Structure formats: C-alpha cells, structure tokens
Amino acid sequence: MNPYVESVRALDDYELDVLFENGERRRFDVKPYLGRGIFTRLRNRGLFGAVRVVAGSIEWPGGLDLSYDTLYLRGEAVSERPEGAAQNKQASGMEGQSLKNRDQSVMDKHTRYKSSVRQSISTADGLEVAGKVVKMAQENKIECALCGGLAMHAYGFTRATANVDFVAEARLPLPATRELEMGGVAYTVQAGEEKEIEVDWIIRADEKKEVYEAALAGATSTDDGLPIITPEWMVILKYLAGRGKDQIDLLWLLREEGLVDRELVKQHINGLFGRYSFWPLADMDNLFLEADVMKARDQNGK
C-alpha cells in the first residue's frame, strides 16, 4: 500500500509539492490533466492554488481530486539533500560536524532558539508576544495581522496552540530560526522572563499568495488594537488549509451568532475565483448547512 498524503503545496507551472506520511516528498505535474474534462477548471490559478489534503489524498473545490496512489506512483521523487552530498558525506564527516556545531552555536547565540517538544501556550503569553511583534512591525512600517490559533482565542474559541501566527507583507528585522515552507520565516520571541514563544511570520510565496494578501488588506483590529484577520477571511483561509483542526475552527466560527457575515464570505470567494467560484461556493454552502445543523443539535442538547 502506498503512503497517504500529509501535506500539499501548489507550485508554479501547475506542479504540486507533495509530502507523504512516510517522509517522502514528490513533485507531481498536473499539466497533462489540464485538458481533460473537469480538470480544465484548474487552469484558473486561484482554483489550482486551493488544493488541500482530504482523507489522505488531495482535493480542489468542487470535488476535483487525485488519489494518493496516483500522486505517489506518478510523482517525481525529490531529493531533500543537494546533489552530490551523499558521496561527499563520509569524506567530510569531521569537517561537516565542526561546521554544524559552529552554526548551531551561532544560532543559539543570536536567537536563543532551543530545540524542544512544542507545548501549548497561554492566551496571555501569546498576546504579550503578539503585542511585541506588532509594535516592531509598526515601527518598521510592515503590515501584519494575527491569524491561526491565537486569532481563534481572540474571537472566543480557546483551543491549544503552540505558537503565534501572523500574515505579513515583509520580514521583521529579527534573526529567523527557520524558513516556513509556505513562505515566510519563524522567529523566537521572549514572553515574561523565561518563556520563549515561536512566531510564524507568514509571507506566502505560492499559489495562495493572492488570497493571503487580500486577507491582510481586509484586516481589522481587536479591542486591544492588535491587527487581526477578519472572521470572514479566517473562514476562507481555514477552508483552503483543509486540515482537521482548520475544519473545527471553521465550523466554530460559522456557528457563532453574528460573528461571520456569510454573504461577505461569498463575495470574497467570487472576487478570488471569478467564473470558477461555483465549486468553492457550493462547498461553502455545505459548510454553512453543517454548522447550522451542529448549532441546532447543541441547542437541543443532542
């Protein structure tokens, strides 16, 4: 049996970067499918970039999908190591280890980054860190807005989150601990005297870039003045992310009375996908219905 898909990312030239649960990464070329039946819809860049993982395979709005078997068997294996590194590894073992130790020392010195199991953070610590990075962003005239788990906290849904997520237009003048696969970097910021919290500073560089830029442009503010992605754009970003926790967040947002303007969500989708918006709108109508059913069950105590 072939492995299930763990994550997928749309690339330029209608290709997909697919990570499987066994750790293998493959690149899948969708171009041969673009002239076939309903797959012609994927010529729309916005729709193509809306790919997500569903039940171990991948899916686009409107039910377009490719199985994990197809992706694995027909995808081109991608080496995680630069070409030639395997042959040189043994010969340069001692030197490589020395460089690795030196680089780690530099990273520890400048970022105080520590490798550890990521633990959930409190809302108070998250907001403290968010305030610090927003202040720095404003001083450097960088637009940013809170998203992710801490944004859900701000809207009233307290769930576990291990970091602070922002959508941004440019990098902060801070040393980065790592590059984000989707685009952007991670920083480590002090909370209190001893805690260090990771901040994912998202600057999309893939097919979802346009969506995130639109969400950032439409950001609002919390009562404390922190810039935050609106509930309507949060619904769209969660829908496009497609992970289990995103589905939970999305349905919670839709169930809250008066929080999400559903017509505005549809307007945003129409603006993003144009004549291809029928399929994501159909998906969204189903999500609206599912949220309403869940809310009715909650009210009836079932």
Which tokens go with 13? 């030239």
Residue 178 DSSP label: E
d(CA 59, CA 48): 10
d(CA 11, CA 208): 10
Which pLDDT tens digits describe the chain residue by residue (302 residues)?
788 898 898 888 899 999 999 989 999 999 988 887 778 888 888 888 888 888 788 888 776 788 888 899 889 998 654 333 333 333 334 334 433 343 343 333 333 333 334 568 888 999 999 999 999 999 999 999 999 999 999 999 988 888 999 999 999 999 999 999 889 999 999 988 778 999 999 999 888 899 999 999 999 999 989 999 999 999 999 998 877 788 889 999 999 999 999 999 999 999 998 888 888 899 899 999 999 988 888 777 65
Report helix angle 231-241 to 244-255, nearest 10: 150
Per-residue model confidence (pLDDT) at position 122: 87
Per-residue model confidence (pLDDT) at position 188: 95
Per-residue model confidence (pLDDT) at position 61: 79
Per-residue model confidence (pLDDT) at position 120: 80
Which tokens go with 11? 């690339």
d(CA 127, CA 116): 22
Domain 123-299 class, CATH top level: alpha beta
Per-residue model confidence (pLDDT) at position 302: 54
Matching CATH topology for 5-77 and 123-299?
A: no
Residue 4 DSSP label: P
Domain 5-77 class, CATH top level: alpha beta
Pick left, alpha or beta for residue 178 (phi over 0 → left; psi -120 to 50 → alpha; otherwise beta).
beta
d(CA 134, CA 201): 11
Where exactly are the structural domains of the chain?
Answer: 5-77, 123-299
CA angle 204, 209, 213 (to 5 degrees): 100
- By the 8 A CB rule, do 125 and 191 touch? yes
- DSSP assignment string, 28-96: EE-GGGTTSGGGGGGGSHHHHTT-EEETTEEE-TTS-EE-HHHHHHHSEE--SS-TTHHHHHTTTHHHH
H or E segment to which residue 266 belongs: helix 262-273
Q: What are residue 141's phi and psi, to 5 degrees?
A: 55, 45
